[in-house]
Amino acid sequence: MLNLKSEIKNSKNYFVWTIGCQMNIADSQKLESAFDNMGLGKSDSVQDARVVVLNSCVVRKSAESKVESMLGTLKSVKTLFPEKIFVLMGCMVGPKTDDLKKRFPYVDIFAQPQKLEPIVDFISNKMGVDSEGCLESITVAPDVAAYIPIIHGCDKFCSFCIIPYRRGREVSREIKDIVNEVELLTARGVQEVTLLGQNVDSYGHDLEPGNRLEDLLSAVNEVKGIKRIRFLTSHPNDMSDQIIKAVSKLDKVCEHFNLPFQAGDDEILKSMRRGYTNLEFRNLVEKIRNYIPKASFATDIIVGFCGETELQFQETLDLVQEMRFDKVHAAAYSPRKGTISDRMMEDSVSKEIKRDRLESIWELQESVQSEINKDLVGQEFEVLIEGKKKEKFFGRTRSDKLVFIDTDTDRINEFVNVKINSSTAWSLQGTILN
């Protein structure tokens, strides 16, 4: 044990655990890059690491419970190895940390989303390593595709959502900084970038005119080496004609839209403060499909929001049936402390009913996806091979379809043309043509 303790004290390894959205993944990648620049080494486990970072999510109760469980595990580790440095970052950390400090006194530092400087400063002091400029250059290039935050925070304040309280108001990054980051990533072999924002469509409203999402997409489209550009998450109210036209015209921008509708009933949409109606959402999808017939769609749904009746839920089911989304992320409503719905509305739908409604959505969407994917059998697609899962290489089409490929040759990070031979609701299977 003594040996182990002194090993830990002298160790310069770090371990980063991440849960939640792509913004969290992007923050973790940036922090890992900074640690690498500081001379620390990446570890695969809490046991081997001197620095342990939990990047947390509290958007749903289930995610928060996982973070709490990880924190519980760390408590006993700290008793045995007090030299370990524990960091809690992400959306569990609000502007005030007194309560967290009381609950988790063994955590050394708490950092809000995107606020990485306090972490590197603390680690640098504690371990005596240089952190000068460590957040400025990218050393950890994701294998194939990279996430790039372009706008932080959210101004929408949907009644169920904790994000604006944790990530603050919207702040857009300058186009030149984003283009510079894309160039650095392409130099490291990245061919696909996903531009991220909680509400990516409102990018640039706080910058000079001529700096909106469509302008950024055009600028990134010019970067040599980049082959595909994606963006998420959209908001129906901010999806402008200019954005739709940019997607239809720019050759590298993939014709895939992440467009949450959340609920099908207008009353529920109003109490969620989403700012659009069922009809407006339908019209928007129709408009996009008119401009871009091949467009694919992913959406988010919350079932069992405060007061949602069976009839109101039926509106959600109807929308899923009729819109034929390519992917649906459905979750049961869980009140998040401090949000408008938590303070002012009753969480009146029982757990059982929420679960039944979720199952209805999943069952319906499975049949929709099976039909959509079946129609793709026999067609050919360009696929960027991303990795290997269960002995099978896999990649994605421009429309974000997951494709498993019959090949033994490792062609990760290559574009290949694939003929689709079979399908399930969740993926396509095919063979390489070139």
Q: Which C-beta is closer to ligand SF4: that of 21 or that of 85? A: 21
Burial 380-392 (b: 16+ CB within 10 A, else e): ebebbbbeeeeee
266 vs 172: CA distance, rounded Å = 31
Among candidates 111, 19, 25, which has minimal Cα distance to 61?
19
For strands 85-90 and 51-56, give the pairing.
Answer: parallel
Give the sign of the dihedral formed by CA 213, CA 219, CA 220, CA 226: positive
Indicate the pairing of strand 296-303 with strand 327-332: parallel
Q: Closest separation between CB of residue 418 and ligand SF4, Å?
A: 34
Cα 287–289–291 angle (5° rounding)? Answer: 70
Using CB under 6 A, which of 37, 186, 198, 341 touches ligand SF4? 198
| Binding of ligand SF4 by 157 (CB under 6 A) | yes
The residue among 201 and 315 lying less far from ligand SF4, judged by its C-beta, is 201
- 368 lies in the site for ligand SF4, by CB under 6 A: no
State which residue, 113 or 395, has the beta carbon closest to ligand SF4: 113
Q: Give the strand pairing for 256-258 and 296-303.
A: parallel
- Letters for 100-139 (x = contact with ligand SF4 by CB under 6 A, - = none) are ----------------------------------------
- Give the total of residues touching ligand SF4 (CB under 6 A): 10
**Residue span 227-246 as binding mask against ligand SF4, x where in contact by CB under 6 A, dash where not:** --------x-----------
**Toward ligand SF4, which CB reaches closer, 167 or 252?**
167
DSSP state of 59: S
For residue 315, what are the CA distances in angstroms to 326, 341, 347, 369? 19, 21, 20, 19
Contact status: 199 vs ligand SF4 (CB under 6 A): yes
Compute how many other C-beta atoms are within 10 angstroms of the C-beta atom of residue 260.
Answer: 20
Q: Which of 6-14, 152-160, 243-251, 304-312 is the region at the interface with ligand SF4 (rule: CB under 6 A)?
A: 152-160
Binding part of the chain for ligand SF4, among 79-87, 115-123, 155-163, 241-249 by CB under 6 A, reads 155-163
Helices and strands in the chain: count of H runs, count of E runs: 14, 17
Instruction: Establish if 156 lies at the interface with ligand SF4 (CB under 6 A).
Output: yes
Residue closer to ligand SF4, measured from CB, 84 or 156: 156
C-alpha 364/C-alpha 317 separation (Å) is 8
By CB under 6 A, name the one of 163, 195, 303, 403 that touches ligand SF4: 163
Sign of CA dihedral 182, 188, 191, 192: negative
Least separation, in Å, of the C-beta of 302 and ligand SF4? 9
Under the criterion CB under 6 A, does residue 20 sit at the interface with ligand SF4?
Answer: no
CB closer to ligand SF4, 113 vs 142: 113
Q: Which stretch binds ligand SF4 (CB under 6 A): 92-100, 103-111, 153-161, 248-256?
A: 153-161
Nearer to ligand SF4, 237 or 370 (CB): 237
Number of Cβ within a 10 Å radius of residue 43? 18
**Contact region with ligand SF4 (CB under 6 A), list: 161-169, 251-259, 283-291, 346-354:** 161-169
Smallest separation (angstroms) from ligand SF4 to the CB of 271: 13
The set of residues, in sequence order, having a beta carbon less than 8 Å from that of 359 and lying 6+ positions away, is none
Kindly list the residues in this chain that would bind ligand SF4 in the complex (CB under 6 A): 154, 156-158, 161, 163-164, 198-199, 235
